Amino acid sequence: MLCKYSFAWVGMVLLAITNGGLRDLLYKSRLGDIAAHQLSTVLLLLLLAGYFRLLASAWPLASSPQAWTVGLIWLLLTLAFEFGFGHFIAGHSWNHLFADYNLRAGRVWILIPLWVLVGPALFRYLK
């Protein structure tokens, strides 16, 4: 089951990339950077919730510890991808990458890794 859920993480990446692309194409220029970032984050939270629900019904997790293990694996994969790809492939500075986690600046991206961590356990509980 952990292999299936680890592979399913790729679907989350595709949702996130699509969501970011739509943000940049459709509403960032009208809303501005901060508002577009916030709206995009909320939309991704909702998209991920639907994806988590789909996975939970297709591949029910056997226990709470298993659900938390999946969440931890997803969190580690997400952070490794975000910071590894963002810095080493896309060439963003560390300051640029950490800026999305600055709540005081209106950046709410931290909700995504937190959701990725708790989502599997929550949807296992809700089933």
pLDDT the model gives residue 80: 96
Query: Global pTM?
Result: 0.93
- pLDDT, residue 89, reads 93
Q: What pLDDT is recorded for position 106?
A: 94
Which pLDDT value is given to residue 11?
98
Q: How high is the pLDDT of residue 58? A: 96
pLDDT less than 50: residues of the chain: none
Q: Which own/partner pairs from 103-110 qualify as long-range (CB within 8 Å, at least 24 positions apart)?
A: 105/34, 106/34, 106/37, 106/38, 107/34, 107/37, 108/37, 108/38, 108/41, 109/37, 109/41
Query: Does residue 45 contact residue 116 with C-beta atoms inside 8 Å?
Result: no
Q: What is the pLDDT of residue 113?
A: 98
Where on the phi/psi map is residue 91: left (φ > 0), alpha (ψ -120 to 50), or beta?
left
pLDDT for position 1: 83
User: What is the model's pLDDT at position 46?
Assistant: 98
Quick one: how far is CA 97 from the chain centroid? 15
pLDDT computed for residue 127 by the predictor: 76
